[in-house]
Structure 1
Amino acid sequence: MEYFPYPHPLETERLILRPMTEQDAPRFHEIFDGEPKVWEFDPGLPCKPEERRMWTLRHAMEPDMASGRSGLFGRSVVRKEDGLVIGAAGICPLTVPGGWEQGKPQAGATLEPTLFYQMGLEYWGKGYMTEACRRLLEFALIELRLPRVLCGTQRKNVHAVRLMERLGFHPTWFPAPSNFWGREPVCGVITAEVWKNQSTSVT
């Protein structure tokens, strides 16, 4: 994996995507673990405060690791108008069993940049996460010149599936249930070429 300088916070019209800090943990616990609709599919049960703290701390440390030096790590999604943390998102390296080209024989697993996202229920339906993810994809595929980004969720997670579709993830595949992918996974990939072609037309 090619290495790049530690990236500055990314901005959109309404949001700042900044590196996570341990101090974000109580806020994440409040907005992620207090509402079943948020944790239903990821991770499938609410985290305890210490578990959420460790999750946050791991992402907060990523800028000092290989993923951070490559420009890839989790970020806190902050609303500009009031400085409130409303979610988390990022593109992080993930080892994918069988590789990303699911229809072709693979020699083994591949390390792939993978999009993740989670947002407090109060902020759903306002376009915030679409806005955040588009900026992350622009950063990864255009600025970092990565060839592709993967994304996966559960079929029943209709909100996440719709977001994947809005972002243009294609083609979509359905891996067999596993501890890695979950019980009913749906996954997709978007390449730099596809992103460049659709970036001015995706709504």
Structure 2
Amino acid sequence: MANPEMAGECFIETARLILRTVTPADVAGVASSWKLDEGPIPLPEAERVIQRMRANHAQNRPGKIVHLCLAILSKETNEFIGWCGLDHTQPADADPALFYLLKSDDWGKGLATEAARALLDYAFTRMELPSIHGGAAPENLASKRVMEKIGMKYVGLDEEGGYAFTISRKEFLDS
């Protein structure tokens, strides 16, 4: 059986969530939720987004993430409720950046923390990455708190004045 990580596929299950690779069958869900803060995108744009995500995922392998963008689905409703992943497309970054974005109806329920923790576990145990960094805008205290809850260490302010965090594989596995 093929290793799903090697084929660019990812499936992570938590108590309340499913984090998974997007497929072409998800085009309507991607169109309605890709830019949660701006509204729906046209279906042809959603198809291009899916193709780009899948091409990026195909480049990921243990020890190296280029870009991993996963749909966050509620296990209860099977609805797309957001996105999370790891981005290492910036050559200046020493390690991948953690990201997550939830529909506002799902804020304050601990779902971002649940997704982010599962993503770190995937990154460090299955993909064997050495470290991850993250950031939050200065006004986004909820996102800052998520990073604190998942064990990331605050390292100061980034170039834009936001909160910068990091965690190593060893720190995560020792926690």
Normalised-by-shorter TM-score class? 0.7 to 0.9
- 1:49 is aligned to 41
Length-normalised TM-score, structure 1: 0.69
SS of the aligned residue for 1:49 comes to coil
Counterpart amino acid of 2:23? T
Report sequence identity in percent. 24
Contact 1:94/1:114, CA 8 A, preserved across alignment: no
Q: 1:87: which partner in 2? A: 82
CA distance in 1, matches of 2:84, 2:30: 12
Cα drift, residue 176 of structure 1: 2.5
Structure 1 residues 21 and 170 mapped into 2: Cα distance closer, same or farther (>3 Å)?
Answer: same
- Counterpart pick for 1:129 among 101, 106, 112: 112
Q: Is 1:144 the counterpart of 2:145 in the alignment?
A: no
Residue aligned with 1:112, SS: coil
Which residue in the other structure is 1:75 paired with? 70
> Residue 193 in 1 paired to residue 160 in 2?
no
Q: Distance in 2 between matches of 1:136 and 1:95?
A: 19
Correspondence for 1:62 among 56, 63, 67: 56
**Residue 8 to residue 28, structure 1, CA distance change in 2 (3 Å):** closer
Change (3 A) 1:191 1:84: same
Q: How many residues align?
A: 166
Provide the rounded CA distance (Å) in 1 between the counterparts of 2:26 and 2:61: 18
- Please give the per-residue CA displacement for 1:100-133, whole angstroms capped at 9, x wherever unaligned: xxxxxxxxx2452211110001111111121111
Q: Which residue of 2 aligns with 1:104?
A: none
Gaps of 5+ in 1: 40-45, 97-108, 178-183, 199-203
User: What TM-score, normalized by structure 2, do the two folds share?
Assistant: 0.79
User: Could you give the per-residue CA deviations for residues 64-109 of structure 1, whole angstroms, max 9, x where no partner exists?
Assistant: 3x2368565111011112211111111232326xxxxxxxxxxxx2
Q: Which amino acid aligns with 1:12?
A: T
Aligned to 1:160: 143
